[in-house]
């Protein structure tokens, strides 16, 4: 991921320097297990533990010759080990995938914990914003058309619960991705005791694979990337709502707009929804990683490395972009400007048409058939659309034409926007307990 969208904490998780730190940690733990079992000399462990991880530059220099990243790492690390003789026991009984898959599992778990903390924050921000606006009337829209009265907090509550569910999916995916293997070539433990694998797994807080060939099957990693894609897409759903709300014709919502910020290089009046548009765009990047990662599940026999090149790009990009999306969406919601007066103006702008379904229900209760009531109310509504005359007036006209008596007092009672809010109390009561 380019630096523009890489936040420091997640950038460090996927840095080459940190990767080599994890590789050193895995190799040292394997040596500890070997030494405890008497497989290698006990005095070889400490010199290796004290050897600083090799620099990415040095590993790259050696890899340019070896064309093998693990061998380049081992050589560079051995150069840092005193006495160098101890380094010969590094990687003893292992194959490259033992190191790569185990360190990758630790890295992805670490990245997940960063994401979960930010997802928690976004859930809390959405919850608080929704509760703040539990009585902020607005028009609900279906197909982009005014439908019935609603409240802004109701819409945001849906996002809050959606993000909470998405976060919980990622929490479950953390278990699926925290799977390692140290089982040697083709996974038969031919040169390494399974107890070594158990020891390393316990120390790293990971779980040994139920079965490994030479690589850990990528279904868990595919699940993890899919969980990130859902989070990213919920962020997009939030941003898309803001984009619609900031349109000039709507003007109900505004992104935070800082002092000195510019909206357009040509038009000084512009305040564009750039944060929301960026969120919508970057969500595509996360979703785009699902297929290439999933295609890493089928490999040739016990191992090939067709998944390797894909994962070097897809996994950091998915995590870094999701991290940025969570950060940006939290910033968007926290600074969101809600124009409550404009929401009320828009709610009233269709001259009462948003009460048509309520009128249908009321007239059905008078004994008329649904078909007759729907035809009467629809014809009154179409007259309002065409003439701009208030819906209650066109309804009176059509009712008189059809000989239908209206209970005006009852219609006054049911055609109030506040009436549509009462039954949402149960939603907000649940929302209060969301964490």
Tokens of 327: 């950060």
So what's the pLDDT on residue 263? 61
Give Cβ neighbours of residue 342 (< 8 Å, ≥ 6 apart): 250, 251, 252
Cα atoms found within 13 Å of the Cα of residue 100, Cβ hemisphere only = 19
So what's the pLDDT on residue 43? 95
So what's the pLDDT on residue 264? 58
Q: Which of 68, 190, 264, 309 is catalytic?
A: 264
Given a cut of 70, is residue 265 above it in pLDDT?
A: no
What is the residue-averaged pLDDT of the chain? 93
Confidence of residue 182 (pLDDT cuts 50, 70, 90): very high
The residue among 19 and 365 whose pLDDT is bigger is 19
Known active-site residue 143:
yes
pLDDT in tens, 207-255: 999 998 889 999 999 999 999 999 999 999 999 999 999 999 999 999 9
Confidence of residue 404 (pLDDT cuts 50, 70, 90): confident
So what's the pLDDT on residue 260? 61
So what's the pLDDT on residue 261? 65
Average pLDDT over residues 333-358: 95
Given a cut of 70, is residue 292 above it in pLDDT?
A: yes
Average pLDDT over residues 89-96: 95
Given a cut of 90, is residue 418 above it in pLDDT?
A: no
Given a cut of 70, is residue 259 above it in pLDDT?
A: no
So what's the pLDDT on residue 258? 67
pTM: 0.93
Average pLDDT over residues 119-127: 98
So what's the pLDDT on residue 1? 73
Given a cut of 90, is residue 122 above it in pLDDT?
A: yes
Cis peptide before 83 (omega within 30 of 0): yes
Q: What percent of the chain has pLDDT over 90?
A: 84
Given a cut of 70, is residue 262 above it in pLDDT?
A: no
So what's the pLDDT on residue 256? 84
Lowest mean pLDDT, pick from 197-206, 259-268, 295-304: 259-268
Nearest of 168, 81, 288, 254 to residue 263 by alpha carbon: 254
So what's the pLDDT on residue 269? 67
Average pLDDT over residues 117-143: 97
pLDDT in tens, 325-344: 999 999 999 999 999 999 99
So what's the pLDDT on residue 412? 86
Lowest mean pLDDT, pick from 91-95, 352-356, 400-404: 400-404
Q: Which of 143, 265, 269, 301 is catalytic?
A: 143
Average pLDDT over residues 91-97: 95
So what's the pLDDT on residue 304? 86
Known active-site residue 369:
no
Helix (H), strand (E), coil (C) string for the chain: CCHHHCCHHHHHHCCHHHHHHHHHHHHHHHHHHHHHHCCCCHHHHHHHHHCCCCCHHHHHHHHHHHCCHHHHHHHHHHHCCCCHHHHHHCCCCCCHHHHHHHHHHHHHHHHHHHHHHHHHHHHHHHHHHHHHCCCCEEEEEECCEEEEEEEHHHHHHHHHHHHHHHHHHHHHHHHHHCEECCCCHHHCCCCCCHHHHHHHHHHHCCEECCCCCCCCCCHHHHHHHHHHHHHHHHHHHHHHHHHHHCCCCCCCEECCCCCCCCCCCCCCCCCCCHHHHHHHHHHHHHHCCHHHHHCCCCCCCCCCCHHHHHHHHHHHHHHHHHHHHHHHHHHHHHCCEECHHHHHHHHHCCCCHHHHHHHHHHHHCCCCCHHHHHHHHHHHHHHHHHHCCCHHHHHHHHHHHHCCCCCHHHHHHHCCHHHHCHHHHHHHHHHHCCC
């Amino acid at each position: 991921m380019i630096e523009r969208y890489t936040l420091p904490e997640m950038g460090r998780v996927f840095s080459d320097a940190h990767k080599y730190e994890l590789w050193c940690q895995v190799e040292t733990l394997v040596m500890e297990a070997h030494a405890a079992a008497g497989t290698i000399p006990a005095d070889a462990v400490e010199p290796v533990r004290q050897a600083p991880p090799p620099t990415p530059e040095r590993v790259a220099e050696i890899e340019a010759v070896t064309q093998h990243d693990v061998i380049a790492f081992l050589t560079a690390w051995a150069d840092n080990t005193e006495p160098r003789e101890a380094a010969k026991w590094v990687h003893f009984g292992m194959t490259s995938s033992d190191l790569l898959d185990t360190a990758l599992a630790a890295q992805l778990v670490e990245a997940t914990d960063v994401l979960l903390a930010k997802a928690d924050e976004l859930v809390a921000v959405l919850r608080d914003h929704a509760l703040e606006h539990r009585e902020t009337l607005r028009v609900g829209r279906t197909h982009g058309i005014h439908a019935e009265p609603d409240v802004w907090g109701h819409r945001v509550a849906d996002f809050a619960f959606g993000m909470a569910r998405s976060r919980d999916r990622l929490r479950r995916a953390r278990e699926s991705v925290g799977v390692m293997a140290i089982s040697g070539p083709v996974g038969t433990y031919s040169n390494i005791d399974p107890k070594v694998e158990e020891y390393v797994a316990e120390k790293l807080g990971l779980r040994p694979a139920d079965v490994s060939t030479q690589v850990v099957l990528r279904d868990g990693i595919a699940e993890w990337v899919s969980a990130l894609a859902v989070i990213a897409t919920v962020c997009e759903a939030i941003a898309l709502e803001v984009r619609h709300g900031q349109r000039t014709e709507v003007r109900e919502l505004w992104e935070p707009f800082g002092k000195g910020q510019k909206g357009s290089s040509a038009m000084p009046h512009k305040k564009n929804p750039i944060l929301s548009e960026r969120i919508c765009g970057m969500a595509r990047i996360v979703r785009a990683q699902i297929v290439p990662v999933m295609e890493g599940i089928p490999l040739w026999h016990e191992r090939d490395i067709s998944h390797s090149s894909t994962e070097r790009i897809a996994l950091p990009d998915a995590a870094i972009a999701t991290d940025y999306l969570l950060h940006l969406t939290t910033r968007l919601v926290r600074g969101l400007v809600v124009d409550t007066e404009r929401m009320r103006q828009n709610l009233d702008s269709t001259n009462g048409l948003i009460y048509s379904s309520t009128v249908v229900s009321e007239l059905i209760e008078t004994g008329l058939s649904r078909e007759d009531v729907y035809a009467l109310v629809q014809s009154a509504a179409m007259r309002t659309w065409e003439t701009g005359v208030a819906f209650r007036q066109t309804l009176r006209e059509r009712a008189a034409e059809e000989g239908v008596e209206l209970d005006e007092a009852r219609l006054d009672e049911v055609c109030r926007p506040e009436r549509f809010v009462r039954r949402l109390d149960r939603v907000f009561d649940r929302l209060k307990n969301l964490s």
